[in-house]
Amino acid sequence: MLLQVKDLTVRYGGHLAVWEAGFTLGEGEVLGLVGESGAGKSTIGRALLRLVPEPGRIVSGAITFKGRDLLGLPEAELRALRGAEITLIPQDPLAALNPAFRIGLQATDALAIHRGLSRREAEGVMARLLARMGIPDPEDALRRYPHELSGGMRQRVLIAIAFSCGPSLLVADEPTTSLDVTTQAQILRLLDGLRSETGVATCFITHDLGVVAHLTHRVAILYAGCLVEQAPTDRILAAPLHPYTRALVRSLPLDGIMPALQGPPQACPFSDRCPERMAICDTAHPPLKSVGAGHQVACHLY
Amino acid sequence: MTALLEVQNLKTHYRLGGWLSRRRVLRAVDGVNLTLAARQTLAVVGESGSGKTTLGRTILRLVEPTDGRIILDGQDISRLSQARLRPLRRRMQIVFQHPYASLNPRKRVGQIVAQPLRVHRVPGNHRRQVGELLERVGLSASAAKHYPHEFSGGQRQRIAIARALALRPDLIVLDEITSGLDVTVKLRVLALLRELQAEFHLAYLFISHDLSVVRTVSDRVAVMYLGRIVEEAPTEALFERPLHPYTQVLKASIPEPAARGNWNPPVLVGEAPSPVNVPPGCRFHPRCPLAQAVCREVEPELRELAPAHRVACHLAEAPPHFYPHPPHPHPPHPPLSPSGGEDKGEGEDR
């Protein structure tokens, strides 16, 4: 197993962003982390790099990557992994690039730091990667500032950076959310091509089930910081079990809004929006239960 | 049925400032024709920069048109003075994309929703009317006492809808109103819009980039590209039989969950040109895989090729349509691990 996450709990001040989430990721596997904004999916993605922003804290749990305990790793060893072995494609490419530096300088950092290449060597490698990304004149792109590129081009640059050192784990945090639909299709296609060629294991964070359907092998559904269902993608799409997953897959409207967890859940976090609510749902938090091959669900119905 | 709204050859151009670009003109909306019947929903879809938001705002005269006519219920409002326009504003309202920016954070919800009633001096008990409006959009009347920041994005959008309803308009422009919302919340807001449409006899101009949303709410769809409508059709016809190559690309670009394992989105070459540099001929020709000589020279007009189905493409009749898939767009893979790559003779990629 490449990555194992166990009972991960992340707290932001008085609010639990993630509560005892656990999942695994095999070599070359793509796991979709799905949920609405605030469900904790990006927080989990950041936790995999131990980059949960302040005032967030990983308060308990374990993340094991290639047999190493990521949460116990000294910062120096972690830095050797970040950007090389474990990389991130962020959601907002404009925010992720420094507006004051040319693309060339920012895009070659990882290669210079982790691979010890000179800037010129690194730019050569980058130019070839960017060409592979469908950027027509990569040398020119490297000389530009981020604002001179379109959103789609910037996202291509960030994908190139994420792949530049040959990672074994990629965290893709809604990489196409800010893009137009035709650009999104091109970027997803590109990303999927690169992923299958390199065999990088991927955590694909998204709220879009269409993206999930086309890019992932397995899906974990998050709601209010809790993992409510996990299954192979085919099963999630064909036979979703959790009422929340069913609403997502079948496009059912839901009343109400997702609560924010203040402390360990005493009830099902979905109960007040759930069309199948029972008495027990308000008094006990349902544990994640195995209901078939690789299929787990946290719901009192099962 | 006579049209509630008719837009003829509407243009909104912006003169770009700065001494270097003095003569440059951004043609945000560049010759749009459309009609919208009472109680109907016309969706305007397009990607960023297509001019759809400017179109909505120009129709309401929130942005001044450069040319063309905007006819509301038989009356040309495109050149009315703001004073003459004011009473007509009761009939046309707008809900904006960002419910965080469009609700004044210093005002209570009650004041926000009552504002149009005050401005237009509507008689009656405003507090009671506001309470009814809030309840009608699925909030409680007591929401009036709270501030916008106390509400979620979906609830704020409901507040903005209540405000737009306050004057009982005939037409509401809905500008990307679901784009920041989570999917289950989005579906709830769309259901509410349908109920309100039936109850208050509303016509919607539904501006969106999201084709799947458009499909569920609209009677007709107009597709915009670089300031022009390239195709307009009844919703089902547009989705089942899109005639314009751009519409076909848009549709094929949506990752439909049902097509798992079988999604092969077409590749559009290049990026959308800027509305400052509109290409001659068909605006889509530089990116169109079917483009021929005529497309580079002659701008196609909208033509009705099927009942109520209009398309601006010289080649729209020529079957078969898309998409023989283009060859794999990417050159061979360069080395991903730079150390291993140097000696493997991967120089074959150019």
Confidence of residue B349 (pLDDT cuts 50, 70, 90): very low
Counting the structural domains of chain B, the total is 1
Counting the structural domains of chain A, the total is 2
* Residue B323 resides in a domain: no
pLDDT higher than threshold 60 for residue B350: no
**DSSP classification of residue B244:** S
* Residue B149 resides in a domain: no
Chain B residue with CA closest to A133: the answer is B330
Check CB contact under 8 Å for B255 and A163: no
How distant is the alpha carbon of residue B197 from its chain centre? 18
* Residue A259 resides in a domain: no
If asked whether residues A179 and A233 sit together in one domain, one would say no
Instruction: Please compute the mean of the pLDDT values over residues B293-308 and round it to a whole number.
Output: 94
Instruction: Please compute the mean of the pLDDT values over residues B63-80 and round it to a whole number.
Output: 96
Check CB contact under 8 Å for A37 and B254: no
Computed over every residue of chain B, the mean pLDDT equals: 88
Place of tokens 């989570």: B182
Closest CA to B323 of B220, B224, B253, B260: B253
If asked whether residues A200 and A241 sit together in one domain, one would say no
Q: Which of A129, A182, A253 shows the shortest C-beta gap to B188?
A: A253
Confidence of residue A255 (pLDDT cuts 50, 70, 90): confident
Q: Does A275 touch chain B (CB under 8 A)?
A: no
If asked whether residues A183 and A300 sit together in one domain, one would say no
* Residue B30 resides in a domain: yes
Q: Which of B190, B257, B333 shows the shortest C-beta gap to A132?
A: B333
pLDDT of B348 reads 36
Check CB contact under 8 Å for B331 and A132: yes
B15 against A73, higher pLDDT:
A73
Computed over every residue of chain A, the mean pLDDT equals: 94
Tokens of A175: 């990489």
* Residue A224 resides in a domain: no
Q: How many CA atoms lie within 13 A of A241 on its CB side?
A: 22
Q: Does A164 touch chain B (CB under 8 A)?
A: yes
Pick from A261-265, B46-50, B345-349: least confident: B345-349
Provide the shortest C-alpha distance from residue B198 to chain A (in Å): 19
* Residue A31 resides in a domain: yes
Q: Which residues of A touch B271 (CB under 8 A)?
A: 150, 152-153, 183
* Residue A258 resides in a domain: no
Measured in residues, chain B has a length of: 350
Judged on CB neighbours under 10 Å (0-12, 13-18, 19+), B106 is: exposed
Residues 38-77 of A with CB under 8 A from B: none
Does residue A247 contact residue A209 with C-beta atoms inside 8 Å? no
Determine the Cα–Cα distance for residues A289 and A296; give it in Å rounded to an integer. 5
pLDDT of B18 reads 67
pLDDT of B20 reads 63
CA distances from A224 to A45, A208, B188, B321 (A): 15, 17, 19, 46
Q: How many helices (H) and strands (E) does chain B have?
A: 11, 12
Q: Does A18 touch chain B (CB under 8 A)?
A: no
Q: How many CA atoms lie within 13 A of A222 on its CB side?
A: 33
Check CB contact under 8 Å for B336 and A129: yes
* Residue A221 resides in a domain: no
* Residue A119 resides in a domain: yes
B232, amino acid identity:
E
pLDDT of A37 reads 87
Q: Which of A164, A213, A255 shows the shortest C-beta gap to B255?
A: A213
pLDDT of B342 reads 37
B65 against B256, higher pLDDT:
B65
Check CB contact under 8 Å for B190 and A253: yes
Does residue B231 contact residue B311 with C-beta atoms inside 8 Å? yes
Contacts of B256 (CB under 8 A, 6+ apart): A210, A213, B263
Residues 195-234 of A with CB under 8 A from B: 197-198, 207-214, 233-234
pLDDT of A56 reads 93
Check CB contact under 8 Å for B334 and A131: yes
Pick from B192-196, B199-203, B319-323: least confident: B319-323
Check CB contact under 8 Å for B335 and A125: yes
If asked whether residues A161 and A240 sit together in one domain, one would say no
A55: left (phi > 0), else alpha (psi -120 to 50), else beta? alpha
If asked whether residues A121 and A165 sit together in one domain, one would say yes
* Residue A175 resides in a domain: yes
Confidence of residue B326 (pLDDT cuts 50, 70, 90): very low
Pick from A62-71, A257-266, B274-283, B321-330: least confident: B321-330
CA distances from B184 to B189, B192, B269 (A): 9, 13, 34
pLDDT of B322 reads 53
Instruction: Please compute the mean of the pLDDT values over residues A47-57 and round it to a whole number.
Output: 93
pLDDT of B273 reads 80
* Residue B173 resides in a domain: yes
Cβ pairs bridging A and B (under 8 Å):
129
Does residue B46 contact residue B223 with C-beta atoms inside 8 Å? yes
If asked whether residues A201 and A239 sit together in one domain, one would say no
pLDDT of B327 reads 37
Confidence of residue B340 (pLDDT cuts 50, 70, 90): very low
Interface test mutation site (partner A, options B190, B263, B328, max chain A beta carbons within 10 A): B263
Tokens of A286: 């349902």
pLDDT of B123 reads 94
* Residue B34 resides in a domain: yes
User: If you write DSSP's letter for every residue of B249-268 in order, what string do you get?
Assistant: HHHHHS--GGGTT-------
A281-294 pLDDT tens trace: 999 999 999 999 89
Tokens of B287: 């990116």
Judged on CB neighbours under 10 Å (0-12, 13-18, 19+), A112 is: middle
Q: Which residues of B touch A129 (CB under 8 A)?
A: 334, 336
Tokens of B73: 């219920």
Compute the Cα dihedral for B328, B331, B335, B341 and give only its sign.
Answer: positive
pLDDT of B320 reads 46
If asked whether residues A162 and A234 sit together in one domain, one would say no
Q: Which of B47, B256, B337 shows the shortest C-beta gap to A182?
A: B47
If asked whether residues A13 and A78 sit together in one domain, one would say yes
Does residue B170 contact residue B90 with C-beta atoms inside 8 Å? no
B92-150 pLDDT tens trace: 999 998 888 999 999 999 999 999 999 999 999 999 999 999 999 999 999 999 999 99
Provide the shortest C-alpha distance from residue A130 to chain B (in Å): 9
Contacts of A76 (CB under 8 A, 6+ apart): none
**DSSP classification of residue A72:** G
Chain B residue with CA closest to A236: the answer is B257
Q: Which residues of B touch A189 (CB under 8 A)?
A: 265, 267
| CATH number (domain holding residue B46) | 3.40.50.300
Q: Which of A166, A210, A255 shows the shortest C-beta gap to B188?
A: A255
Q: Which residues of B touch A111 (CB under 8 A)?
A: 338
User: If you write DSSP's letter for every residue of B109-153 in order, what string do you get?
Assistant: HHHHHHHHHHHTT--S-HHHHHHHHHHHTTS-GGGGGS-GGGS-H
Instruction: Please compute the mean of the pLDDT values over residues A10-21 and round it to a whole number.
Output: 94
pLDDT of A216 reads 96
Q: What is the pTM of this model?
A: 0.87
pLDDT of B215 reads 92
Chain A residue with CA closest to B333: the answer is A132
* Residue B325 resides in a domain: no
List % helix, strand, coil for chain A (3-state, nearest 5).
40, 25, 35
If asked whether residues A301 and A187 sit together in one domain, one would say no
Domain membership of residue B177 as a residue range: 3-91+169-238
If asked whether residues A236 and A132 sit together in one domain, one would say no
Starting at the edge strand found earlier in the chain, the sheet holding A30-34 runs: A86-89, A169-173, A201-206, A30-34, A218-223, A226-232, A295-297, A289-292
Interface test mutation site (partner A, options B139, B155, B184, B225, max chain A beta carbons within 10 A): B184
* Residue B200 resides in a domain: yes
Instruction: Please compute the mean of the pLDDT values over residues B219-240 and round it to a whole number.
Output: 96
Describe the crossing of helices B109-119 and B153-165 by its angle, rounded to 10 degrees: 20
Domain membership of residue A11 as a residue range: 3-216
Check CB contact under 8 Å for A182 and B185: no
| CATH number (domain holding residue A182) | 3.40.50.300
Q: Which of B183, B261, B265 shows the shortest C-beta gap to A207?
A: B183
Measured in residues, chain A has a length of: 302
Pick from A96-110, A189-203, A258-272, B250-264: least confident: B250-264
If asked whether residues A15 and A84 sit together in one domain, one would say yes
If asked whether residues A287 and A199 sit together in one domain, one would say no
Check CB contact under 8 Å for A184 and B253: yes
* Residue B263 resides in a domain: no
Closest CA to A299 of A241, A251, A247: A241
Determine the Cα–Cα distance for residues A243 and A274; give it in Å rounded to an integer. 7
Determine the Cα–Cα distance for residues A269 and A19; give it in Å rounded to an integer. 11
Q: Does A111 touch chain B (CB under 8 A)?
A: yes
* Residue A113 resides in a domain: yes
Contacts of A114 (CB under 8 A, 6+ apart): A80, A83, A84, A165
Closest CA to A35 of A234, A252, A208, A267: A208
The interface pTM score, or ipTM, of the predicted complex is 0.86
A264-278 pLDDT tens trace: 999 999 999 999 999
